[in-house]
Amino acid sequence: MDVMDRIKEAIESNSVILFMKGTPEFPQCGFSSRSSQALAACGSEFAYVNVLADPDVRANLHRYADWPTFPQLYINGELIGGCDIIMELYESGELKKMVDAAN
């Protein structure tokens, strides 16, 4: 399967998915750590893809939605954004509403 098809399938198969460096249990960058902690604090499950473990995804994800950095959060197939946007949404309480609505 083509890498773009794999990315699309992962996004479409998970209502909430975070493309990050590392895992929620062992994040490999501060931005991924803060983003996964904010999602976890919302109290709902979320899927994740460790882009460091999949170089093809890491090299091509920016092409999928024209977003250059990691992490990238998708809810119901829509790109929400990266760490700054995730943290703003979390601090305002909107992230929990979005995650709850998706689950």
Known binding residue 42? Answer is: no
Known binding residue 83? Answer is: yes
Q: Is the peptide bond before 71 cis (omega within 30 degrees of 0)?
A: yes
Known binding residue 29? Answer is: yes
Known binding residue 54? Answer is: no
Please state, in angstroms and rounded to a whole number, the distance separating the CA atoms of residues 28 and 102: 26
Known binding residue 96? Answer is: no
C-alpha distance from residue 67 to each of 39, 44, 91, 97, 103 (Å) = 20, 25, 22, 23, 24
Measure the N-to-C terminal CA separation of the chain; round to a whole number of Å: 28
User: Annotated binding site: which residue ranges?
Assistant: 21, 29, 58, 70, 83-84
User: Annotated binding site for [2Fe-2S] cluster: which residue ranges?
Assistant: 29
User: Annotated binding site for glutathione: which residue ranges?
Assistant: 21, 58, 70, 83-84
